[in-house]
A and B are shown apart, each in its own frame.
Chain A
Amino acid sequence: MGPISMAKITVDGRTFEVDDSDNLLEALLGLGEDLPYFCWHPEMGSLGSCRQCAVVQYQNEDDERGRVVMSCMTPVTDGAIISVQGEKASDFRKSNIESVMLNHPHDCPVCEEGGECHLQDMTVMSGHKDRQYKYQKTTFNNQDLGPFIGHEMNRCITCYRCVRFYRDYSGGDDLAAFGSRGRVFFGRAEDGVLENEFAGNLVEMCPTGVFTDKTLSAHYTRKWDLQSAPAICTSCSLGCNITVSERYGEVRRVHNRYNSEVNGYFLCDRGRFGAGYVNSDDRIPYCGIRNANGVYEATPADDALSHLKTLLNDAKSVIGIGSPRSSLEANFALQTLVGEDNFYSGLSGSEAEIASLQLQVLNSDIKTPSLAEVEDCDAVLILGEDTTNHAPRLALSIRQAVRNEAIDLAKEARIPLWQDAAVRKLAQDARSPLFILTSSEDRLDGVGTGIRLSSEDIALAGINIANGIDGTVEGGADIQPIVEALTNASKPLIVTGSSSASPDVVSAAVKIATALTKRNAKTGLLICTDEANTLAAVKLTEKPFPATGADVAIILENDLSMRVAGSTLDDWLAQVTNLVVIDSLDNNVSSRSSVVLPAATFAEAEGTYINNEGRAQRSFGAFKPKGDIAPAWDWLLRICHGQDLLTDVKHIDDLLDAIASAHKDLAGAVDAAPNAAFRVHGQKISRMTHRSSGRTAIVADVTLHEPKQPEDNNSALSYSMEGTNQGAPGGMKAYTWAPGWNSNQSISKFQHEMSGSAGEGTRGVKLFTGSSVQLAATEISPDGNSNGIRIVPNWHIFGSDELSNRCEAIHSLAPSPYALLSPGTAGKLGVQAGDALKLAAGDAPSLAVMLDDSIAEGCVICPVLEETRAYLHLQAVGDRLLIKDESWTPPAGDENIISSDRSS
């Protein structure tokens, strides 16, 4: 971006300076004008179809008539004279909204969008109330679009936002505009699950209630009755900002929370629809101690804590196993409790290795870009990382990065970038280079060059590319285009990660980034790990898992069965006398523990998460959990107090201070959000809306006395409508609302510049700001196992993540275990389609064999699922076996084994 040049415009007699690369709508919204719109979107630019943002533009001061123009389609020009509130402009908008509403069913009372409907807001804003249309309205059929999204086409106002987002922005092709004139239909060719992984954004993109959140509809609550908090999504390593909302002790929904540097306006469907596990029947509700009969008994918290105190006092050896999905605070408290030597990160071996490399990168001269910066990159190389399924939101950003070629062409042709359709028409299929080196088909193949190789060959190709960039070795014909694209780019980007569980692949990516950084300091390297807080865990310790047992082992929010394979875990558990588990959901480790403490989920607890770019972000809970359920860090703090540790630490802020003094490079985490003492004009920040209704009626069937609302001593937020929301800094807002703007579009009222950062407050704190240190070259010599067979983990956006997979809607789209391999590889293993392979002897899961010519030779693609995950992470190839399962019979019916097959 060049320097911003400003233009003076006169709006209803007042003169302002605005950015002249904007259109008038953007400029006027930035000035705080209430100007209604539908089809324009801050991230997707203008279309000009809804005609709602009309203003009158005058040619000069003598022009008294003026001309109606669409502000979204009119560039800012110096000296422009505009009327927004004048009669001519407002009459046009009034007529237009009347037309928009002509066929709308006015079913607000039974519509999920009611109360946060952009169409309602804009109708009121445009001043339309009396209907004159007295004829029959247009009606449509609705479709079943799968478990996430409801469809009610009669409400449609034909703004084209859905198809623009779905097709143009996120690359989907199974949602389209059909028909013409007054009968344009937005849907699929036939009923079926929307295939795109970002389809859930339609819920927020649609300005009215055509596309609604089915998981909310299942236990619906109006927006004004929701209690919400600014939280961080925990379903991958990207740390997208979300608003999580609750009523009556249940999480009702997740909405996007704008962060200009991370997720912007969009989430993936796992993040949006995957929080339902909070309401799961599998929640651990009380503290428990296993009795003599081997059955858990509910135990009062104090009794459980004193039992633990005794255990710890008597123990000769104590081990703490941390968690890549728990908060930084909880991991630190556990480390403090057991001591540094006895603390393990609880990562799988390969993820620990990859995360250590990532830490080195963050502390080196190689730049780690944010998602916003990814979108600026003009050449991308993906090395063995399945972004769409492992770090989904990143795939959406890469889709925007390949458009940089289109943006360059538009700049050359002097087409403003907000002229979205014109920019796309001009560029057609022109794209910035994207190379995808993975072992199986990738969702991004359609916008780049997919190259299928085994992990070993990806690592080798990476080394060759690095050497090619260094000029030490001439790259082969297949490598040369990649080398040229990366060296010619002004902002090249390498994306890699732990999805293929291969540290060699990541090392190769680091090698490429090192070579490129020497030539171009703007080179970016983004490494994705498996979990939301992998970096925090590995920052505290590089030891993943203990070799021996102990008298007491405390496991913090970690289903080790997904990271440590069956026999190894069994052997270790046998050496542990007292297994203590702090977790929210019952799992394969808590079921074998002797003491359990009920942990709050992200929706009920505050905590700090460090995402894959080293950004510390604070997440807040929306509601106080039931009974004795408490944040894991709170349990650990109380246990520490029993051991005379951290005695000065009372609240999370004290804990963060303790972290800051113990770990200098984590000190920035303190500033990730304002502390509990923070007030806005003396007020706390309200989690409930000021219209929150019925609070007093919640327990009216029991008592007429309204109970006192819980207090929150750990954050500046209140469990109440008392306090302020609007005055809160952006990063602390529990929900977004402004007068006249009840929908999520109200975010624009807090931005001085559309899609800009102003008014946002904290966007998190980047902890590792890099250095001039060049990484030392590491030797990589990847080699396959003796028979040349390699298992490649295949992540699934729905099914591979531990917690979201406990939601019914997500789980319904998860695949059954399969092994995808080429006919040649199948021949080597002595199996054919219809057979099954076992990952190991004994209880290891069976995988249905499926053949696919496109799979790299020697690769066996296996889905990452609860039952398979631990086996796929194993490092030593010798530990893994692939043997024909002689006893296997294929499941009945013709259910699709891979969810992505559901469309084909």
Chain B
Amino acid sequence: MTDKPLTKNIKGDKPADLAAYEANGGYVAVRESIGKKSSSDLLDMVKDSNLRGRGGAGFPTGMKWSFVPMEKTEGHKYLVCNADEMEPGTFKDRVIMEKDPHQLIEGMILSAYTIDADIGYIFIRAEYHAAAKALHEAINAAKEKGYLGENILGTGYNFDLHVHSSAGRYICGEETALLNSLEGKRANPRAKPPFPQVSGLWGRPTIVNNVETLCNITHIVANGADWFKSLGLGEDSGTKLFGVSGRVKTPGCWELPMGTPIREILENHAGGMADGYELKGFLPGGASTDFLLPEHLDLAMDYDVIMKAGSRMGTGTMIIMDDKVCPVATVRNIIEFFARESCGFCTPCREGLPWIHKILDSIENGRGEPQDIDILNRQAGFLGAIGHTNCALAPGAIEPLASAMKYFGDEFNQHIEEKQCPYSAKNGAN
């Protein structure tokens, strides 16, 4: 048994084909489970494994599945894979889909079987052409071999799997906006309750899970919950695809145990800061998480540990901010992204993010006024809490802003007082 289940097949540039995947233990879990184990056995296994969603929110997967009504009714149930990886700085799902598509397909077959879904969709980011191609080929191969489609391996279980390429909106990564988009409707997040488990795609029970989450199911079913739990170093189970981007020596994506200390990821795997740059702060799990500081480097990458430090582990892919980068400009760029990707449904997000962007832009360009800081603080409070807005986009967008103002507030004031960006003054350009 490997301690790197998610990346064990990833070698070279080409996706692992069906033969290679099977040769390395692939589809054994499907062969041994479909029609042989009950869905409640599998559900118990997932619950016991303590797997938490790898899309960013960290919700316990087994609990999420347990809300799906299991009594037999007419009509479909759906399993949807959220492969709309658009979080800035995040590129982990892409690695799996491009290099080991069968791992996702097997995970989806097992997950669908557990919740008794008969149709699956992989909702994939528009720009992921290589991944979509690899998935299409893998689905065809799996179908030919009887792993997908009608009467899987002669067990009587049916599961059809489709790839749907997104039209390219960040909000489609929100699970209910994703469902609306999949239905051909505006990608506005739905109000919850009702949750998708009860009324999801086309009003039917639906589970939406992240790529990495679904891949983990393959290994939990194959190797058991205890094995999975033993992989984590701390509170959380399993391994995780961690990533680092920014001015480090070797940016990239690695599979490491849950609870790996940030310092180890940054220094051992990303090779430490590039020469001539110092670490100023970092976003631990993508653009929509709060900044952390060098003082947080010894924290373990576990959901609750990072939460206690005031941020979120999110997707586990860090963005490093060095000492030559202006934090105001950084946050402005992030907010510009989120203002552009707002769906326009609810007032605080639709109106607030563009306003914040305009204020940050004027501060960065030396046109800021002292009262702008009050407005930013007030808007951060107004948009920043879950429940104030219809979905988590605006609260996520506020996390880097609010934390930057907390940790780098002096630099915001400096911009206003000096009527220019100190970094551009130093560097000539930023």
- Which residues of chain A are within 8 angstroms of B382 by Cβ–Cβ distance? 92, 95-96, 99
Per a CB cutoff under 8 Å, which of A54, A184, A426 touches B350? Answer: A184
- Which residues of chain A are within 8 angstroms of B378 by Cβ–Cβ distance? 95
Stretch at the interface among B190-198, B264-272, B419-427: B190-198
Given that A135-B355, A135-B358, A181-B342 are known contacts, is A419 also in contact with B191, CB under 8 Å in the complex?
yes
A94 closest partner in B (C-beta): B382
A182 to B385, CA, bound (A): 20
Which residues between 318 and 350 of chain B lie within 8 Å of chain A, taking CB atoms?
Answer: 339-348, 350
- Which residues of chain A are within 8 angstroms of B194 by Cβ–Cβ distance? 413, 415, 419, 422, 426
* Per-residue contact bits, chain B 369-404, to A (CB 8 Å; 1 contact, 0 not): 001000100110010010111100000000000000
A421 contacts chain B at the CB level, 8 A cutoff: yes
Q: Is the CB of B343 within 8 A of A180?
A: yes
A681 contacts chain B at the CB level, 8 A cutoff: no
Per a CB cutoff under 8 Å, which of B203, B342, B353, B355 touches A133? Answer: B355
- Which residues of chain A are within 8 angstroms of B341 by Cβ–Cβ distance? 181
Q: Is the CB of B191 within 8 A of A99?
A: no
Q: Is the CB of B190 within 8 A of A49?
A: no
Q: Is the CB of B343 within 8 A of A51?
A: no
Which residues between 294 and 312 of chain B lie within 8 Å of chain A, taking CB atoms?
Answer: none
7 closest A-B pairs by beta carbon, nearest first, are A99-B351, A184-B344, A426-B203, A95-B382, A181-B342, A426-B199, A135-B358
Q: How distant is A692 from chain B, measured CB to nearest CB, in Å?
A: 35
- Which residues of chain A are within 8 angstroms of B366 by Cβ–Cβ distance? none
B202 contacts chain A at the CB level, 8 A cutoff: yes
- Which residues of chain B are within 8 angstroms of A180 by Cβ–Cβ distance? 169, 186-187, 342-344
A102 to B387, CA, bound (A): 21
A100 closest partner in B (C-beta): B347
A427 contacts chain B at the CB level, 8 A cutoff: yes
A96 to B378, CA, bound (A): 11
Which residues between 41 and 55 of chain A lie within 8 Å of chain B, taking CB atoms?
Answer: 46-52, 54
Extra inter-chain contacts (9) besides given A47-B191, A99-B347, CB under 8 Å: A50-B347, A95-B379, A99-B352, A135-B355, A181-B343, A181-B350, A182-B353, A428-B202, A428-B203
Q: Is the CB of B351 within 8 A of A422?
A: no
A181 to B202, CA, bound (A): 25
B224 contacts chain A at the CB level, 8 A cutoff: no
Q: Is the CB of B190 within 8 A of A158?
A: no
Which residues between 38 and 94 of chain A lie within 8 Å of chain B, taking CB atoms?
Answer: 46-52, 54, 67-70, 73, 92
Given that A132-B375, A181-B344 are known contacts, is A69 also in contact with B387, CB under 8 Å in the complex?
yes
Given that A181-B341, A182-B339 are known contacts, is A103 also in contact with B351, CB under 8 Å in the complex?
yes
- Which residues of chain B are within 8 angstroms of A158 by Cβ–Cβ distance? 344, 347, 350
A409 to B75, CA, bound (A): 14
Given that A158-B347, A426-B199 are known contacts, is A182 also in contact with B354, CB under 8 Å in the complex?
yes
Q: Is the CB of A52 within 8 A of B347?
A: yes
A409 to B355, CA, bound (A): 42
A160 to B188, CA, bound (A): 12
* Per-residue contact bits, chain A 408-450, to B (CB 8 Å; 1 contact, 0 not): 0100010100010110011110000000000000000000000
- Give me 18 A-to-B residue pairs in the complex whose CB atoms sit less than 8 angstroms apart, sorted by A's number: A49-B347, A67-B387, A69-B387, A95-B382, A99-B347, A99-B348, A99-B350, A135-B355, A179-B344, A181-B342, A182-B344, A413-B194, A413-B198, A415-B193, A419-B194, A421-B191, A422-B191, A426-B203
Given that A135-B355, A180-B344, A182-B354 are known contacts, is A51 also in contact with B389, CB under 8 Å in the complex?
yes
A129 contacts chain B at the CB level, 8 A cutoff: no
A177 contacts chain B at the CB level, 8 A cutoff: yes
- Which residues of chain A are within 8 angstroms of B385 by Cβ–Cβ distance? 68
A663 contacts chain B at the CB level, 8 A cutoff: no
- Which residues of chain B are within 8 angstroms of A181 by Cβ–Cβ distance? 339-344, 350, 353-354
Which residues between 190 and 214 of chain B lie within 8 Å of chain A, taking CB atoms?
Answer: 190-191, 193-194, 198-199, 202-203
A69 to B203, CA, bound (A): 25
A424 closest partner in B (C-beta): B203
Which residues between 93 and 110 of chain A lie within 8 Å of chain B, taking CB atoms?
Answer: 95-96, 99-100, 102-103
Q: How distant is B45 from chain A, measured CB to nearest CB, in Å?
A: 29
Q: Is the CB of B199 within 8 A of A413?
A: yes
A183 contacts chain B at the CB level, 8 A cutoff: yes
Q: Is the CB of A68 within 8 A of B388?
A: yes
